[in-house]
Amino acid sequence: MPHIDFKNDLPGIRSALAYSPETAAPLGVLAEILLRSDEGLTRAERELIATYVSYLNDCFYCHHSHGEIACIYLDGDREIIDQVRNDFSTADISEKLKGLLRIAGKVQQSGKAVTTDDVVHAKNSGATDKDIHDTVLIAAAFCMFNRYVDGLATTTPKDMSSYPLRAKQVAEKGYGNHIYTEKQPA
């Protein structure tokens, strides 16, 4: 049961966003830029970083939600998502993304855990300054989103078929206000 009365029965972060539209607005803009920008990192890479950090933070709702969105951008290749969760160092992904996931994993622990060696390694694998900036901010933002979702004990849908349906809506329409106001397809 949620820790506060959201005055709605939406699942996950949507209940908190609908409860507090004034903070939902900048959170939606931030998610839209960080996860759907086509400059530098691909949308699949951005969602994989979000999924990985949410997995490390043990946020069931976020890691399954963003895993399903990543899956859409990866043309349904669910195996890559499982590989990233289990051990990204052996996953079928670029060396650049491996370098960035290493940084994201450090950010999940603490900003101070990121070392010069982590950054040099990512740069040597092809990451630009902007890629590193975006990775650090995506990882940091999911340390916020995950805590927002679990710190208020929002409801986690147990029906796993709801996640891909929701992911399709987000992949098509993005992270605008409809994310909490629009009814999910049955």
Q: Contact between 114 and a copy of itself (CB under 8 A)?
A: yes
CB nearer a copy of itself, residue 140 or residue 171? 140
Q: Contact between 59 and a copy of itself (CB under 8 A)?
A: yes
Pattern 77-106, binding to a copy of itself, x per CB under 8 A? --------------------------x--x
Q: Which residues contact 176 (CB under 8 A, 6 or more apart)?
A: 28, 32
Q: How far is the CB of 167 from a copy of itself (least distance, A)?
A: 22
Q: Which residues contact 53 (CB under 8 A, 6 or more apart)?
A: 104, 105, 107, 108, 138, 139, 142, 143, 146
Q: How far is the CB of 143 from a copy of itself (least distance, A)?
A: 5
Tokens matching residue 87: 């051990």
Q: How far is the CB of 141 from a copy of itself (least distance, A)?
A: 5
Tokens matching residue 108: 């999940």
Helix (H) / strand (E) element for 37: namely none
Q: Which residues contact 38 (CB under 8 A, 6 or more apart)?
A: none
The residue ranges that bind a copy of itself (CB under 8 A) are: 3-5, 16, 19-20, 22-23, 25-27, 29-30, 33-34, 57-59, 103, 106-107, 110-112, 114, 116, 119, 129, 132-133, 136-137, 139-141, 143-153
